[in-house]
Structure 1
Amino acid sequence: MSICKNVVAFFAGVFMLAFAPLAAALDFSACQNYYKQATANIDSVRVYSVLYNDTPHLIAFSQKPLRSPRIIKADPFLGLYLFSGKLPKSYHLKPLDSFAHSLPLAAVSATHALQGSVLNFEKGVFDLGKFSTTLPKDSVISTICYQSYGISAYGQYFVPKLLIDRFLSPLGGRYGDIGVRVTPNTQASANSKHPRGVIVEQLDIFFPKTFLKPQDKILSINGRAIESMADFEWIVADLAPESSASVKVLRGSRILSGEVRVGKRYGGGLLQDTFFERYGVLIDRDLIIRAMPKPLPNNLRQLSVGDKILWIDKTPVKKDANFWHFRQLFSQAFVRGKVELLVLHEGVEIFIRSEL
């Protein structure tokens, strides 16, 4: 008799979650019970059992680095961790497709069930999903008790299936880089015979020399057309470091092709991205160097922990969340082949001039 009751309660929870708008007050207890069997606390972090290739995996999200003997692998860019172990239940992950955007959803935890919907999701390699309201702590986005569209990250954001799948794949935690940062091509014409492409805005000053230049429009990589930022991010992320890639660009009115060396990416996502991460350098939001485990090349080795970078080539550096202006100024200096810095060192302003 108890089995029948559990089955009825489970499907009642499924029905009520899928048709949330039809009722004023809903009982999500069936889905909360499922949550208790498909998640657990391990070493003070919430882990979720999800199916990947029909096999259960325990994953967790954290904005801060985690330490646990049960961690198998990690992706610090996304804040995802794979733990050893097994739970009684697992979630079937569902994609954030157009159907998902039309559904009434709920963010479910052991103690909360909050109704809402998925907002725009850009589908870039570091792009999180966004819910219509702040998510309960450690919740899953669901419409049917055993299905999930992702796990909560912070605020309104959650980690979707697209990113979880890559993390659990052999590529998880590894990202290729071709030494550029790009922006969308907002001037693309629907009548153009070329792919939309992306625009090269910045060159990594520590990357091997490349034929790519600022304002190049990248049209394809290894023959794969670039129609969006997401296309570019995923194609480059999946490139193997130490390999080479064939890149086609539109420079002015000319189509050019060349080979670029693929490197390992060091910044992006949850990690700061200043280009200096390749040397382990940590720069805080006030542009003060907080860590420098190994010396920088050329005369940049004169920089030291505690130095504050005031301007680059006589331009004060703007403090923005993603270090965009910082990278832009260094990129412009890289094109010229040299840079001049004004640095506050132990209370004294000094100049540092270096080849790049």
Structure 2
Amino acid sequence: MFRLFLALNFLLLNLFACKGGYESCKLKITDSKSIKYQTLQIPVLKNKRLLFSSHLPNAKIIKYDPFLSLYLVEDRTKFEHPFKINNHLSLGVASVNNKRAIEGKIVKDQIGLNNFATFNEPLATPALLLNSCCALEGIVTPQGIIQKEYLERFLKSKSAQYGDIGIRVDDIKKSITITRVNPFIKDNPFQEGDTIVDFAGKKVKDSATLMRKILFSKVGSTHSVKIKRDSKYFTFKVKTQKRYGGGYISDTFLEQKGIYFSKNLTILKIANEFEGYGLKVGDRLMQVNGVKVSIIADIREHISDFKYFASLLFEREHFQFFVNIKGKVKSNK
């Protein structure tokens, strides 16, 4: 009760201190030049800016997160009043640019690197998601809202590396359900349809919270994961591995093998080890294990459906050819 009293008092003080509301936030965005050429260039730390950009910025780059297209760069203008991450309770949020503020609320939190947060109102991009004190709650990108927890981790971490235990999840019928399993992670014990009961001995309330715990965990660290499969319970010990795809990078599980795709399923980047397979940048993927694919999610859906190797059909200049890529585990199906 006492905590609630303190929280309410803090909110009242906050509201009084921020009486300018979102109009002042619009002015701050204009004064700081936080939106320029359809990119976000937000002053966040002393003499530094947080950039969201699909292009390499013309600035001194301190660090880069390719998954979320985030850059931390030096700020030559040295804006005196940087934006801060909101670490307190907030009565409301708005998507704000230098022209308008759209008040509303997040209706679904960001689930890892594949499902960005969604808002209850249509939003223009790019924009800043702010509370009435102009503190950052997230940023609005073409794929959705990147929430403050990810922005804060990027600002504080030394690298943009994320953890992975070989699963993708979603909230289905009030349960955290495994929707996809990485077939290229050795000894992956999970199956599609498993529901997560707890992680590291503690219950997690939703998929968004679970994926943050996994992604933010140190590569090489070991965790216990309790799952329910049909009517039985199992507890697995899993080691966090390096994440290779997600966000603004394709996430087909083939990234772990060194193959990266564009949205139209042409190869954007390929590891040197695949020279012997005859694959080239620009080859377009047509089928995965005998099933036609047209979007990234299709590859993820069908890639684990094999016993010994994944069979991929590519097309190059109207010529089609198969490539078989060996997996590390048998299919869980």
> What TM-score comes out, normalization by structure 1 length?
0.72
Equivalent position to 1:168, from 139, 155, 176: 155
Q: Structure 2: how far apart are the matches of 1:302 and 1:123?
A: 38
Check conservation: 1:125, 1:234, Cα contact below 8 A: yes
Task: Find the counterpart in structure 2 of residue 48 from structure 1.
Answer: 42
Aligned to 1:327: 300
Distance 1:292 1:133 in 2: 37
SS in 2 for 1:207: coil
Is 2:228 the counterpart of 1:255? no
Matched, 1:180 2:156: no
Q: Does structure 2 conserve the Cα–Cα contact (< 8 Å) formed by 1:95 and 1:162?
A: no
Instruction: Return the offset for 1:168.
Output: 1.5
Which runs of no fewer than 5 residues in structure 2 stay unpaired?
1-14, 328-333
Shift of 1:207: 1.7
Alpha-carbon displacement from aligned partner over 1:90-114 (angstroms, at most 9, x marks no partner): 234336967226xxx46242xx233
The residue correspondences of 1:61-100 to structure 2 (distance < 5 A) are 61-62=52-53, 64-85=54-75, 86-94=78-86, 99-100=91-92
Tell me the residue number matched to 1:59. Answer: 50
CA distance in structure 2 between the partners assigned to 1:43 and 1:311 by the alignment: 38
Q: Secondary structure of 1:120's match?
A: strand
Sort the Cα spacing of 1:327 and 1:96 in 2 relative to 1 into closer, same or farther, 3 A.
farther
The change in CA–CA distance for 1:40 and 1:314 in structure 2 (over 3 A counts) is closer
Count of aligned pairs between the two proteins:
309
Aligned 8 A contact 2:110 2:145 in 1:
no
Alignment CA distance shift 1:148-1:327 (3 Å): closer
1:302, distance to aligned residue in structure 2 (A): 4.7
The match for 1:244 among 217, 222, 236 is 222
CA distance in 1, matches of 2:288, 2:40: 43
In structure 2, the residue matched to 1:313 is 289
TM-superposed deviation, 1:14:
5.2
* From 314, 327, 331, the counterpart of 1:343: 314
Distance 1:96 1:130, change over 3 A: farther
**Secondary structure at the residue paired with 1:208?**
coil
The answer for unaligned runs of 5 or more in structure 1 is 1-10, 19-27, 189-195
2:124 is the alignment partner of 1:124? no
What aligned pairs does 1:159-308 form with structure 2 within 5 A after superposition?
159-170=146-157, 173-186=160-173, 196=175, 198-296=176-274, 301-308=277-284
Percent identity reads 22
Q: State the alpha-carbon separation in 2 of the partners of residues 152 and 166 from structure 1.
A: 17
SS in 2 for 1:278: helix
- The structure whose Rg is larger is 1
After superposition, the CA RMSD in angstroms is: 3.6
